[in-house]
Structure 1
Amino acid sequence: MKHLVLLCLLSTGISIASENNTVHTDNQWYRQGQEKIKALQAQADFPKQAKNIIFFVGDGMSLATITASRIYQGQQKGEDGEENLLSFEKFPYTALSKTYNTNLQTPDSAGTMSAMITGIKTKAGAISVDERVQIGECGPKAHHTTSLLTEAELAGFRTGIVTTARLTHATPAATYANSEKRGWEADSDIPKKYRKDCKDIALQLIDYPHGDGLEVAMGGGRKNFIGTKKADPEYLLLAKGERKDQRDLTSQWLKKHDHAAYVWNQKQFDALDVSKTDHLLGLFEPSHMQYEIDRKNDVAGEPALKEMTAKALQILQKDDKPFFLMVEGGRIDHGHHAGYAKKALHDTVAFSSAIENALSMVDLNETLIMVTADHAHTMSMSGYAQKGNPILGKIVVPDDQGNPSKTLQKDAQGKPMTTLSYANGPGYVNGDERPDLTHVDTEHKEYKQAATVPLYSETHSGEDVIIYATGAGSQLVRGVLEQNMTYHIMKAAISHQLQLNANETKGK
């Protein structure tokens, strides 16, 4: 009888405690847990079919990056940071994604994005072609794979890509191009013997032959769209184009599409009338766009990822057509490669802000939003920093009673340590003696976190990344998945809409 009463009390959520124990209902962690359970139980299922998809890719956004960025954002708001959540961490469905390429344990962005957008895994360095290709050799079109963006465009969807990297860089390129080498961004990058049979990636964007072409393409990479004899409009004396054919692909974009616009600075971007724009090309830097933390110093001004995403959605949602939009936080990856953890975290927070804003602009009962990374990085969080310690700072440990202190954790040489470090990269310091960080500002945006192995550029890492999903069709995101399943889940979500559009096209 006593056990029966105990079970009844537990099932009704009534807390039991002896005189010497904590009363559960008075404990904040217990109350938070109970509130979360109620929220999960009350959550309504989304429809299984979606009309629209927004696919967010945080390039290089590892689990450690997400954790550190969550804390970083919280501390920017004056909180300890650990309890904070980035916008997409609140999504109801998650899965792990296995990121290896067909020829590498630790992958690159070309092979991983190709898998996510075409459903077919391939080699590192390959853009939306299958694994039979020889990297750097122009091959038969039989090896080309079809991206979900192209399938959507052929079905009459409005389509768009937004990135803070070059538009011709690996992740965005995989959505619209096919290339045996990710570096073939302009014609000057392709060996002369292959230029007749293999188009460069920038030209493939402008000559994109499917449907009525992309409605939105915004990012960096101006140099790949203009000739070598033409000065860059922003850096007149410092930069020129990279096209040996001397073609101005920005002019070709305007000629190809009705109601088209081309913008390359903040003023033009802000002045754009979306009601009169059906096809928008934005190229805001010769190469990659600025890191978010440096964006205010840009010569001509350039929009934030949040602003570009919002503008893209305004254009894609102008009528009742379905849409597919890919958004990449491309410079998270570059911050890590350079050993600049602060820049990587700052761009991750900006990526989260773009997602949060997009959530306010769509109906989740008809829109699937998926967020993931193409691969991870070697940044890690270690040491025993006390709760609330600056995530970019030197490690301060609690006292012997577990309470806050001002005591720095020291290494074996008696020198302070940082919470964040890399397994390899430019932060390596030659010699047996680690530098003394006592008077070093480890929270500066250009402080290079310590690296164990010396490399000019930090590498990717091979562990799984997380897929987050919400909205229509998001229920399929669960378990441990091969990375190419990302495509198959998105396609399953819009399969009905693809068929509807196909039937409408046949009926015309």
Structure 2
Amino acid sequence: MTKSQRMKSFCLQLRFKSTQLFIVAGAVLLALLVSLLCIGFTLRFEVEHAVANVADVDYWKDWVAIEQKLWYDKGIEELKRAMRVHSKQRQPRQVLLLMVHGIDAPALAAARFTTADISSHANYIWDRFPHAARLKNSCSYSSPCDAAAAFRALWSGVPLAAVQRLRSNCSSSSNESELFSVLQQAQLAGFRTGFVTNQRLTGALGAALYAQVTSSSWECDGLMPVGAIEAGCQDVAQQLISSATGQSLNVLLGGGRQLFNAKVPSFEWDPVDESLCRARAGRNLLRDWQNQKLKLKPSKRFELLQQAHELSSINGSSVDYLLGVLANGDLSGSAQAPTLQLMLNKTLQVLQRPGVGHLLVVEHHVKQPMLASEQLQLLNATLTDLLGHKELLTLVLLTNGNYLSASRDVSEETQLVSTLDELFQEPELELQRRLQQMPSESLLFAQGPKSLLFYGVHDETYLAQALSYALGIDVFGRQLIEDK
């Protein structure tokens, strides 16, 4: 064999060996890479599921006292639910906002523990909502504080000081000072709307949803100066019937008949409330509402109710507009007032239509603190029966409803936290007095699509802004485009 042939044979053998070596090395590296990936995925799986599976560890079963194990098992179940929380990003088609006056954080805490056995404390449906927030009470540093202005700030998203500054002459034709409430925005965007209250329909909360008034005392024409009436000013009751927002409301249920009509029936169980405004002679706004609905083109079906027993007999699914003025004064003052559950069931029958969204605002006053726990249980049962729709955003807003004034730049609650060391040196009775006088921020619980918007501590203006965004509308009622 010549020298060149031997060299050629050697090179061929070397190339073959190199190929084998490369294949072996590649296989080893691939096996190592697969092993590392498997280890990584295993570790990640264990980390993500460590808490969820912690109940399976022998420690929880064998190394603690039985009593402690029972409570830890309960805690583990709550942790599992917390890890499954997922608030869908799609826009809600239905919104239910329940505002409860007379229940703040201390009252809610007291209602939980009504017996000596703390293990049997009350559990409310909103406690299981995945998101919660606090809304500041601007009235705690505004003196004097007007409830009508405070609610307008809440529903319009404009600060209280600006609301008070924007008040204008009601006879003026200029709309520069007009504030669109979130309910007005929803109507302009094509949503069906409703307002239900156990008070009167013309109260401060309702007025802030549909009316533009300069005086919070003008609930009806009976308290308006003659000069204001002659100048073309309209009271709240008149605006509810004649304004575009009031006429577009699909459901109105509450009290206040004596503010709409001059002549009203008076019964032992539903007397005329002399502490409230009374309509001037000749007024019959309920008849005017009927006449308006008769003129609608195309024609719509409507129902006007003035007695509570009439509510249970109607079929809301076939009604386009429902107005129920079921008491002379506040609905809560009538001994024959319908239950909140009945009112909400009929309201939802009217509001729910295929392919159309709705916004429902519900106001409920708790006036007797000693019965707060019972009323909370009734609210809890009512909400439990209503929830479950996957497109429903549910908001429960608890507030003490007291508009206290304090001339300071920060809320008394914030000020108190910064001086706890000094306070606890005071006598116990003085400490309790100051705690009871704290203006309470509102508690907000949220569940459903876009409920993750409601978190942390915000000004009260945030509620209207977040609701507008959740519904996909801007301040002019236009539907915003959002990727689904």
Judge same fold: TM > 0.5, yes or no. yes
Aligned residue for 2:392? 367
* Alpha-carbon contact 1:275-1:315 (below 8 Å) kept: yes
Alpha-carbon distance in 2 for matches of 1:498, 1:341:
38
Q: Per the alignment, in what secondary structure is the counterpart of residue 98 of structure 2?
A: strand
Aligned partner of 1:475 in structure 2 is 452
The equivalent residue for 1:427 is none
Distance of 2:307 and 2:195 partners within structure 1 = 18
2:320 matched residue in structure 1: 278
Which residues in structure 2 correspond to 1:32-71 (within 5 Å)?
A: 32-71=74-113
Question: Which SS does the other structure have where 1:463 is aligned?
Answer: coil
18 and 58 in structure 1: CA distance in 2 versus 1, 3 angstrom threshold = closer
Tell whether 2:100 aligns with 1:100: no
Q: Report how far residue 189 of structure 1 moved.
A: 1.7
User: Which residue is equivalent to 1:112?
Assistant: 150
Q: 1:183: how far off?
A: 1.9
Return the index of the structure with the highest Cα Rg. Answer: 2
Aligned AA for 2:328?
A: P
Q: Of 322, 331, 341, which aligns to 1:289?
A: 331
**Structure 1 equivalent of residue 256 of structure 2:** 221
Amino acid at match of 2:398: A
Alignment CA distance shift 1:209-1:171 (3 Å):
same
Structure 1 residues 135 and 151: CA distance shift in structure 2, 3 A: closer
Q: Measured at CA, do residues 80 and 263 of structure 1 come closer, stay the same or move farther in structure 2, by a change above 3 Å? A: farther
Judged with a 3 Å threshold, the aligned counterparts in structure 2 of structure 1 residues 225 and 314 are, in CA distance, closer, same or farther, namely same
Structure 2 residue 297 is the aligned partner of structure 1 residue 269: no
Q: Distance in 2 between matches of 1:59 and 1:187?
A: 27
Tell me how large the CA RMSD over aligned residues is: 3.9
Partner of 2:377: 349
CA deviations over 1:361-402 (Å, ceiling 9, x no partner): xx23x2211111354559xxxxxxxxxxxxxxxxxxxxxxxx
1:203 maps to which of 197, 216, 238: 238
Alpha carbons 2:253, 2:324 under 8 Å: kept: yes
Q: Which amino acid aligns with 2:151?
A: M
C-alpha displacement at 1:342, in angstroms? 1.9
Tell me if the contact between 1:53 and 1:324 (Cα under 8 Å) persists in the aligned partners.
yes
Is the 8 Å Cα contact of residues 112 and 375 (structure 1) preserved in structure 2? no
Indicate the SS of the match to 1:188: helix
Match of 1:306 among 341, 346, 353: 341
SS of structure 2 residue aligned to 1:472: coil
Distance 1:497 1:357 in 2: 32
What is the aligned partner in structure 1 of residue 8 from structure 2? none
Q: Deviations over 1:64-94 (max 9, x none)?
A: 222233345xx6xx98675322222211100
**Cα 1:187/1:141, change in 2 over 3 Å:** farther
Letter matched to residue 491 of structure 1 = S
Q: What is the CA deviation profile of residues 24-68 of structure 1, one whole-angstrom value per residue up to 9, with x for unaligned ones?
A: 896221111111101111233323422221111112320122223
Alpha-carbon contact 2:254-2:324 (below 8 Å) kept? yes
Q: Secondary structure at the match of 1:493?
A: helix
Read off the aligned partner of 1:224 and give its amino acid letter: L
Residues 48 and 474, structure 1, Cα contact 8 Å, conserved in 2: no
Query: What is the match of residue 231 of structure 1?
Result: 264
In the alignment, which residue of structure 2 is the partner of 1:492? 469
Contact 2:192/2:359, CA 8 A, preserved across alignment: yes
User: Partner of 1:132 in structure 2?
Assistant: 165
Q: Secondary structure at the match of 1:348?
A: helix
Q: Which amino acid aligns with 2:142?
A: L
Relative distance call for 1:38 and 1:166 in structure 2 (3 A) is same
DSSP 3-state at the match of 1:94: strand
Equivalent position of 1:166 in the other structure: 200
The superposition leaves residues 226-255 of structure 1 with CA deviations (integer Å, 9 ceiling, x where unpaired) of 01xx13264699539821152211111111
Asked whether the 8 Å contact 2:240–2:247 carries over to 1, the reply is no
Q: CA deviation at 1:212?
A: 5.7
Inter-CA distance 66–502: structure 2 relative to 1 (3 Å threshold): same
Counterpart in 1 of 2:361?
A: 326
C-alpha displacement of 1:157:
1.2
* Distance in 2, Cα, partners of 1:237 & 1:35: 49
Give the CA deviation at 1:474: 0.4
Question: Where does residue 463 of structure 1 map in the other structure?
Answer: 440
Q: Distance in 1 between matches of 2:98 and 2:193?
A: 14
Runs of 5+ unmatched residues, structure 1: 1-6, 124-128, 379-411, 425-450, 453-459
Equivalence for 2:351: 316
Q: Name the aligned partner's letter for residue 248 of structure 1.
A: N
Hey, what's the Cα distance between the residues in 2 that align with 1:193 and 1:153? 33
Give per-residue Cα distances to partners, 1:248-270, cap 9 Å, x unaligned. 11111111123221112232111
Secondary structure in 1 matching 2:95: strand
Asked if the contact 1:100–1:106 (Cα under 8 Å) also holds between the matched residues in 2, the reply is: no
Shift in CA distance, 350/120, structure 1 to aligned 2, threshold 3 Å: farther
Contact residue 107 and residue 462 of structure 1 kept, 8 A = no
- Between 1:240-249 and 1:465-474, the stretch displaced more is 240-249
Distance 1:43-1:198 versus aligned 2 partners, 3 A rule:
same
SS in 2 for 1:33: helix
Amino acid at match of 1:342: M
In 2: Cα distance, 1:92 partner to 1:106 partner: 36
Alpha-carbon separation, structure 2, partners of 1:223 and 1:202: 10
> What are the residue-to-residue correspondences of 1:425-440 with 2, within 5 Å?
none
What code does the residue aligned with 2:467 have?
M
Higher relative contact order (CA 8 A, sep 6+): 2
SS at match of 2:337: coil
Aligned partners of 2:186 and 2:477 also within 8 Å: no
Kept in 1: contact 2:135–2:459 (CA 8 A): yes
Question: In structure 2, what is the Cα distance between the partners aligned to 1:18 and 1:39?
Answer: 21
Does structure 2 retain, via aligned residues, the 8 Å contact 1:100–1:462? no
Given that 1:115 and 1:483 are in contact with CA atoms closer than 8 Å, whether structure 2 keeps it comes out as yes
**Structure 1 stretch 260-269 or stretch 133-142: which is displaced more?**
133-142
| Equivalence map 1:23-38=2 (5 Å) | 23=65, 27-38=69-80
8 Å CA contact 1:113–1:171 kept in 2: the answer is yes
Give SS of 2:74's match.
helix
Q: Confirm or deny: 8 A CA contact 2:185 2:468 kept in the other structure.
A: no
**Local SS of the residue matching 2:356:** coil
Shift of 1:303: 0.9
Give, in whole Å, the separation in 1 of the partners of 2:399 and 2:61: 51
Query: Deviations along 1:402-421, whole A, 9 cap, x unmatched?
Result: xxxxxxxxxx9xxxx9xxx9
Q: Which segment drifts farther, 340-349 or 134-143?
A: 134-143
* Matched residue, 1:398: none
